[in-house]
Amino acid sequence: MNNLVLAIDGPSGSGKSSTAKALAIRANWSYLDTGALYRAVTFLGLKHSVQDEAELFSLLANASIEFTCSPKDPRVFLDGEDISEAIRFQRINESVSVYSAMPAIRKYLLDLQQTYIETAPVGIVVEGRDIGTVVAPNAPLKIYLHADIQSRTLRRENESIEKIPAVDISNSLSARDAMDSSRVLSPLAKAEDAAEIDSTRLSLQEVVDQIWKWMQQRNLLGLPTIAVIGRPNVGKSTLVNRMIGRREAIVEDTPGVTRDRVKYEAEWNGRRFFLVDTGGWEVKPEGISEKITAGAEAAIAESDLIMFVIDAQIGALDEDQSLVTLLRKSNKKVILVANKIDNAADESDAYALWNLGLGEPRFVSALHGRGSGDLLDLLISQLPEVGSQPADDGYRRVALVGRPNVGKSSLLNVLAGSSRVLVDDAEGTTRDAVDELIDFGGSTWRFIDTAGIRRRAHQASGTDYYASLRTAIALERAEVALVILDASQIMTEQDIRIVSMAEEVGKALVIVMNKWDLVDEERQIVLDREIERQLERYPWAQRVNLSAKTGWHRDRLAPALRTALSSWEKRIPTAKLNAFLGELVGANPPPVRSGKQPKIKFATQAGVCPPKFVVFATGFLEDAYRRFIERRLREEFGFAGSPIEVAVKIKERD
């Protein structure tokens, strides 16, 4: 189900519809009125004078109910006929509870509602009954909106397209409440984790503002995105580093260092947004430059605002004019930035950039910081309140790490079913860490594709040094490391070093033997020996043999990731842990040291992610005995795919 779901429940007349539409418009989300679907079924039943459940279900099977999820103009269609107004009459209100109580009808509409939710492009506000408990029980934010009967009656009276006495509306609402409350699974039930709002004395704007604040606190609202576009070597990555306040984007004097489009989160004066650094755009790209240019154009399409950067020391070239034409076709707001402006003389020369027709050029020196604050003030003033990308979407984070050219990006693309990241035969194509959301194996995962690590960070220089640091940052951000090895090649010391990096930072671990389509019987025999010798320290790691090129065995990857993450988060009850430890020590007591045998008193699990255990003993425990405890812990409780830590704390004898 779509992760960005706001579920609003409550009785009729509490203001759910108005609130939901206002929130959906403000967030640029879809909107679903589940009550309208029940009213459409009621309209169908009354039209054919049908109250029998089986007969009505038969009618539904041959009918078509559609709901347009635009919050500005939501419409309901029955067999192509717009019935949006017809379902608002009082005769529908009085009968809807009868039809909505039919189990087969509820199941039919539940499937329909969840289809609308799952296909929402960004997020969706769903209102009605049973939303937080049945329709969208996993919604990250649930609201229960209610009001007293007088306020609800007044709202229904104002919304009604018929002239109905207030007393009749009040009686109808009370009767419907009573009928719904009497059912075994009442649609008026409030989800346990729902936030409650009494709208009796609140205006619509006050209700909307309160829920909006909760949406912000839950990081449900998308952050606006700024794409940084320009020719190669105009200083885009230097400017990105200046704006995010840290040296994260790779910077060198050599053109073409940035290749993939890389997203960074930034903040200025309390406004958070995404900056997308892109590779240099070229008019007639060839080879790998063709893919880099395509990535830059994709960033333009996905952005809310474009920052077009020009090297003011060189001025506008014919290529810049071609890029201006492309930017105009995008219909996006463009801010023209003249970089490398270090003094007033540079400014006077750069005014010629007005001729590009993109408005006033903004002068900055990304290297020295001149004008960067004014530029940030301008950018956030032009950004929409929300964008299309969530700040923290809660998806499981997977870092793809390995040596260059082992197939990390190819694996990412085959899992995505499309070319999400740059792939080329040239070694070291990926240089920055690139985030991608990918649906596979029944879940959505956030994959972080990293640059290949050639050597240890202290031995690397230039681009390799920065790429190594980005990989280390990616591992810190991730929950599970997917270490990619080339099964067709001899395992190297650097392969083992990369595996140990993942273990050292305490991440869940899955080792992928890629390029299995190139492994013959002779190589497989040799590989088994290499694994036994080189990976003897990691028998607990989940291992998957696959081919990114052909997609062979890619279906085994999701179960391996889930197992590793489950182990990484596993907690053993203290009583169960000490019962196990008592049996272990009874059968295999610690070895005697200096004529004394340490006594193990008890143990506790100090943490998870990864699991950490502390053993309290009266004396020092040999490293071999600690490894023995770890091995037996794994045999007893599993922990496949996760490192575990066993520490010993010495307590003096009583």
Span 14-24, pLDDT tens digits: 889 999 999 99
Pairing of strands 195-198, 141-146: parallel
Q: Which of 211-225, 391-405, 480-494 tops mean pLDDT?
A: 480-494
pLDDT in tens, 305-362: 999 999 988 888 877 888 888 888 888 899 999 999 988 888 888 888 898 888 899 9
237/556: higher pLDDT: 556
483 neighbors 509 (Cβ within 8 angstroms): yes
For residue 432, give the nearest of 247, 299, 601, 254 by alpha carbon.
Answer: 247
* pLDDT for residue 452 is more than 70: no
Q: How far is CA 127 from CA 7, 135, 194, 638, 649, in A?
A: 6, 10, 13, 43, 54
Residue 101 β-bridge partners: none
Residue for token pair 């958070």: 272
- 552 vs 550: CA distance, rounded Å: 5
302/378: higher pLDDT: 378
Q: Where are the beta strands (DSSP E) in 242-304?
A: 262-268, 271-277
- 290 vs 368: CA distance, rounded Å: 32
The stretch 229-246 carries a mean pLDDT of 85
Average pLDDT of the chain? 84
What local confidence, expressed as pLDDT, does residue 470 receive?
65
* pLDDT for residue 572 is more than 50: yes
The stretch 448-459 carries a mean pLDDT of 59
Q: Count other C-beta atoms under 10 Å from residue 164's C-beta.
A: 15
- 444 vs 24: CA distance, rounded Å: 23
Rg of the chain, C-alpha, whole Å: 31
* pLDDT for residue 654 is more than 70: no
The stretch 560-580 carries a mean pLDDT of 92
Q: How far is CA 523 from CA 405, 486, 489, in A?
A: 19, 12, 9
The stretch 435-451 carries a mean pLDDT of 80
- 127 vs 19: CA distance, rounded Å: 9
In percent, how much of the chain has pLDDT > 90? 41
Q: Which two tokens stand for residue 407?
A: 């197939």
Helix then strand then coil, % of the chain, to nearest 5: 40, 20, 35
For residue 550, give the nearest of 512, 521, 517 by alpha carbon.
Answer: 517
pLDDT in tens, 98-147: 888 899 998 999 999 999 998 888 789 999 888 999 999 888 899 999 98
* pLDDT for residue 578 is more than 90: yes
* pLDDT for residue 427 is more than 60: no
* pLDDT for residue 391 is more than 50: yes
The model's confidence at residue 432, banded by pLDDT at 50, 70 and 90, is very low
pLDDT in tens, 266-306: 888 888 888 888 877 766 655 555 656 676 777 888 888 99
Q: Where are the beta strands (DSSP E) in 340-487?
A: 362-363, 389-390, 396-401, 434-440, 443-449, 480-486
**Residues near 600 by beta carbon (within 8 Å), at least 6 away in sequence:** 581, 585, 590, 615, 616, 617, 621
What local confidence, expressed as pLDDT, does residue 25 receive?
93
- This prediction has a pTM of 0.53
The model's confidence at residue 161, banded by pLDDT at 50, 70 and 90, is low
Q: Where are the beta strands (DSSP E) in 594-643?
A: 600-607, 612-617
177/551: higher pLDDT: 551
Biggest distance spanned by C-alpha atoms of the chain: 97
* pLDDT for residue 400 is more than 50: yes
